[in-house]
Amino acid sequence: MDLESLRREYMKDGLRREDLLEDPIGQFEQWMAQVLGLGIVDPTAMTIATVSRDGQPSQRIVLLKYFDKNGFVFYTNYGSRKAEELGHNSSISLHFPWHNADRQVKICGVAEKISAAESLKYFITRPRESQIAALASEQSSVLSSRTFLLNQFESLKQKFQSGEVPFPDFWGGYRVKAHEIEFWQGGENRLHDRFRYTLQSDGGWHIERLAP
């Protein structure tokens, strides 16, 4: 495969300092609204990176479910690898790859578990099958076969067919409190526009342009 010759030019409008809001959460909301308007598949999909006890980074894709000035929220099994790693090192990085818009957003911060009440509020909005899947899957554990997982799912589906699916105490959300947010806009000739917001001690944000 000739991967070296695969390239394209980024021809969208550039990003200027005067285009940016002073608050990165507002800037993120603006970009998210624009991306939603483009009809991009899975616009809320983000890669999250955590680090193991021995310093090995690990990445996976999850969906952003909520954000505001307090942080960015996603949900997972608290027995998963990501949760185990966040338990000993709460540092985390999020990355949104919006290729169709020639844009990326990178967020660095710390992850904190949200309350059980907040997790329950979201859990009951999930499709019934997704609720059952959360119960059936011991996320990140070794499986003997896919058949075993499907049998677990069908067994629980039958068990709770006439009632509510119970909220699992091993499942819930994390809120990522950001201290650094970078906005990337693709530019012609690889002269991309990058702006980094860094949280200051007074709660304000310092904005810097970075070399591509």
pLDDT per residue as tens digits for the range 157-184: 999 998 899 999 999 999 999 999 999 9
Q: Please tell me the distance from the alpha carbon of residue 109 to that of residue 111, in angstroms, as a whole number.
A: 7
* Residue 138 within any structural domain of the chain: no
- Domain of 193 in residue numbering reads as 17-124+167-210
Q: Does residue 160 lie in a domain region?
A: no
Q: Give the integer Cα–Cα distance in Å for 83 and 62.
A: 13
Phi, psi of 31 (to 5 degrees): -65, -40
Q: Under 8 Å CB-to-CB from 62, ≥6 apart: which residues?
A: 45, 46, 48, 74, 75, 76
Would you say residue 95 lies in a domain? yes
Looking at residue 5, its pLDDT comes to 73
Is-contact 34 19, C-beta < 8 A? no
Is 117 a member of any domain?
A: yes
Q: How confident is the model at residue 9 (pLDDT cuts 50, 70, 90)?
A: low
Average pLDDT over residues 80-100: 97
Q: Among 16, 53, 128, 190, which one carries the catalytic annotation? A: 190
Q: 72: domain CATH number?
A: 2.30.110.10
Please give the Cα distance from 196 to 184 (Å, whole number).
9
In a domain, 25, yes or no: yes
Residue 111 has pLDDT above 70, yes or no: yes
Domain membership flag for residue 50: yes
The stretch 30-54 carries a mean pLDDT of: 96
190 catalytic residue (yes or no): yes
In a domain, 142, yes or no: no
124, with CB counted inside 10 A (0-12, 13-18, 19+), is exposed
Number of independent structural domains in the chain: 1
Percent of the chain at pLDDT > 90 equals 88
Asked whether the beta carbons of 148 and 67 are under 8 A apart, the reply is no
Look at the block and give the residue holding tokens 């002073």.
22
Taking residues 69-78, what's their average pLDDT? Answer: 97
Q: How many CA atoms lie within 13 A of 189 on its CB side?
A: 1
Asked, for residue 22, whether it belongs to a domain, the answer is yes
Q: Is the pLDDT of residue 13 over 90?
A: no
